[in-house]
Amino acid sequence: MGVAPSSDEAVRLIQRMIAERGLLPGDRLGTEAELAGELGVSRPAVREAVRLLGRANLLRAARGPGGGVFVAQTPDRGLARTVSDAIAEMLANKLTSIGELVEVSVLLEVPLAGLAAERADSATVAQLRRAIAEAERLADDEQGQREANALFHRTIAEASGNQVACALVAWSHLVLQPALKELIAPAIIESVARDQHREIVDAIEQRKPALAELAMREHLRYLTDLLEIVNRPAM
């Protein structure tokens, strides 16, 4: 008699089902019983697999009429949410700091700017310039500024063409940027930040990876310097 597939195997089978059927967020996979029968695994294995994939923000389970197991996120967005939630919890529990997160952001976003310069098309460049224009238009709207800034950095990550990198850098826009902007708000000059964004876009449009990386590094250094200024003890 063979050994019943474990929850790990059930996870693999469910992920393959989603991929093969091209299921999207909101699509229904079935009930736990239906999945167990279709996949040839035990209900406890399916239940544990659904729990694990739910923690990874990939599935959600609903009870009652019309309930069952549903796709919650695509794998890249699920990874982005999982990483963001973990970092937000670390920050809340003081297991990391804004300074440390900025250092990690530099390690991720500088090379992504270089990849964007190699791979971005004219539509991407236009979207980046629209994000800058939107930030300028909403100069007196703090929330609008944050959204435009997040769009700018997210577009660069997406232009790199690396979905895993996009997922890994998403926490910066969801967790780091709002917290950082709140800290440096008294010191930041938004027009300077916008000019730095323009330099990044110019390098991307000219397809100069080294220049794009330098411009992104200088932009993030500006934010780091502001963080040091606001955290400096008063004399």
pLDDT tens string 109-135: 999 999 999 999 999 999 999 999 999
Q: What's the confidence (pLDDT) of residue 234? A: 61
Q: Does domain 76-231 have CATH number 1.20.120.530?
A: yes
Which pTM was predicted? Answer: 0.77
Is the pLDDT at 140 greater than 70, yes or no? yes
Alpha-carbon gap, residue 87 to 98, rounded angstroms: 11
Q: May I ask the CATH architecture of the domain 7-71? A: Orthogonal Bundle (1.10)
Cα-Cα-Cα-Cα torsion 56, 62, 68, 73, nearest 10 degrees, comes to: -30
> For 145-168, what is each residue's pLDDT tens digit?
888 888 999 999 999 988 888 888
Distance CA 116, CA 113 (A): 5
Q: What is the pLDDT of residue 146?
A: 83
Residue 4's pLDDT band (cuts 50, 70, 90): very low
| Tens digit of each residue's pLDDT (9 = 90 or more) over 51-75 | 999 998 899 999 888 899 999 988 8
pLDDT in tens, 96-111: 999 999 999 999 999 9
In the chain, domain spans: 7-71, 76-231
